[in-house]
Amino acid sequence: MRELSSIVKAYDIRGLVGTELDEELVTAFGAAFARLVRADSPAVVIGMDMRDSSPGLATAFADGVRAQGVDVISIGLASTDMLYFASGKLSLPGAMFTASHNPARYNGIKLCRAGAAPIGQDSGLDTIAAEVTAGVPDHEGEQGTLTERDMLADYAAHLRGMVPELARSRPLSVVVDAGNGMGGHTVPSVFDGLPVDVRPMYFELDGTFPNHEANPLDPKNIVDLQAKVRELGADAGLAFDGDADRCFVVDERGEPVSPSAITALVATRELAKATAAGEQSPTVIHNLITSKAVPEIVAEHGGTPVRTRVGHSFIKEAMAETGAIFGGEHSAHYYFRDFWRADTGMLAALHVLAALGTQATPLSELTGGYDRYAASGEINSTVTDQRDRMRAVREAFATRPGVQVDELDGLTVQLPEGAWFNLRPSNTEPLLRLNVEAADVPAVRALTDEVLAIVRG
C-alpha cells in the first residue's frame, strides 16, 4: 500500500483525488475504521459534501465498512455539523466526506467515534493509517447492511430547539453566503418558520466553487456578502465555509465581526443559561489566539475561562476534562457542550441572531461591546529556521521589565501595558504565524513591525 503521511493529517484525511486519494484506498480506510470501532458500535453513519468526487468515495468507504461486518447508515448530503449531529443523536461513529474550503480537486474524511468524539492521530487515526499501510485483514463473517436515512429535518429542528427565543425575535433580514457549499443545503431547513428573511447568495451546490473560495476567513471571500448587506440594508450577513461547520458574521454596515467577539457574545448567552440552571462558575474554553476580551467577559459574567492550544482536538479535550459549556476559536469554530461538544457554526449564528432580535439596536452596537481591542489578524512569514527565529524573538522580549512569556503553543509574550502577541510555527509548512493584539491600531502596528523585523530580518 502507498505512503500515507502526505494525506493523513493531525485531525483528518485529505488529499488530491485520483493521485493521493482514490476509491480503492478509501475502501481500505473504511475497513480499518470499522475494525477500530466495531467492538463498541454495530454501525457507522456516513455523510458527504457536494464535491463531484464525494458520492464515489463515500460509497467506497461504505463498502469497506460493510466488508468488516459493520452496518452503514448513509445520511447523504450533509454539513459537517450535521454529521456530528447524526453521530450524537444515533450514538454511532461517523465519517464525513469533505475537504472543507479546499479546491475542487481535493477531498477528505473527517472521522469521529460515537457521540461525535473526535478522532485524530493520537486517538485512532494513526492506528487506522498503520493498518491500511500493512493491509487490512479480511472479515470472515457476514457483510454489513446499508440503510439510507434523511437527518436534515431532525438536525434543523434540534438546532432551532436550542435557541427557542429566536422564534420570538423581531423580524430580521439576513444575507447568507453559502459559497456554493453545504450551507446552501442546510440553511433553508434550519431557518424554516423563523422570523428571519434569508437573502440567499450562492446556494447552488457546486464543488468547483465558481464564485469564490468557500473560506470566509479570507477577506476577499466576503466582499460579495459585504456589498449585498449594504445594498439591501440587511440586519446582518452570514458566510459559511464549504462544509458549513464554520460561520463568519458581518454587521449591518457590512463590517466583519471578529470570531473573538462572537465567542464572547455566545459565551455570555450560554453562561446565562447555565447559571440560571444552577451551575456555579461554568467553564468556557478559548484558544490562546482569541482576544483577551474573551476571558475578561467570561469572568465578568460569572464564568471560568480556560485557555488552550490552537486546534479543535485541544478544545474538545479541554471541554471533556472541565465539563465546559462552550468553546470558541479565532478561526470561527464554536463548540457546544449541548451539541456533543462538537463545533457548529450554524448554532453560533442562531445565537447571534437571537441576541440581535431581542433588541432594537443594530448588530454593530450589540457586538461592539465584545470587541475591546485592536488586532493584527494572522500574519504568515516564510522562514526555514523557525526555531532560531522564535528563539531570537523570545530573547528580545523576555528580559524586559514586566514582560510575561509562556510556551503553551509557540511563544506568547504579554507586555506590561496590556499588549500581547503569539508566534507559532505551522505544523505543515515553513511558516511562522504571528497574531498581535493591543489597545489601538497604532500600537498593534508598532508591535507587529517590531516582531516582524526579527522574524524576517
Residues labelled as active-site residues? 100
Helices (H), 163-258: 183-190, 223-232
> How is residue 215 annotated by DSSP?
-
**Residues contacting 404, CB < 8 A, separation 6+:** 413, 414
Q: Positive or negative CA dihedral for 292, 294, 295, 301?
A: positive
In this structure, the number of other CB atoms found within 10 A of the CB of residue 293 comes to: 21
The answer to whether the beta carbons of residues 36 and 124 sit under 8 Å apart is yes
In 258-401, beta strands by DSSP E: 283-287, 304-308, 326-328, 334-336, 374-375, 379-382
DSSP 91-139: T--EEEE--TTS-TTEEEEEEEEGGGEE--GGGTHHHHHHHHHH-PPPP
Q: Positive or negative CA dihedral for 58, 59, 65, 71?
A: positive
Judged by DSSP in three states, 61 sits in helix
Task: Give how far the C-alpha of residue 275 lies from the chain's centroid of Cα atoms, to the nearest Å.
Answer: 26
The answer to whether the beta carbons of residues 381 and 356 sit under 8 Å apart is no
Maximum pairwise Cα distance, the chain: 70
C-alpha cell at 300: 465578568
Burial 373-387 (b: 16+ CB within 10 A, else e): bbbbeebebebeebe
Report d(CA 203, CA 421) in Å as an integer.
38
Report d(CA 71, CA 77) in Å as an integer.
19
Report d(CA 412, CA 423) in Å as an integer.
6
State the residue for C-alpha cell 469564490: 212
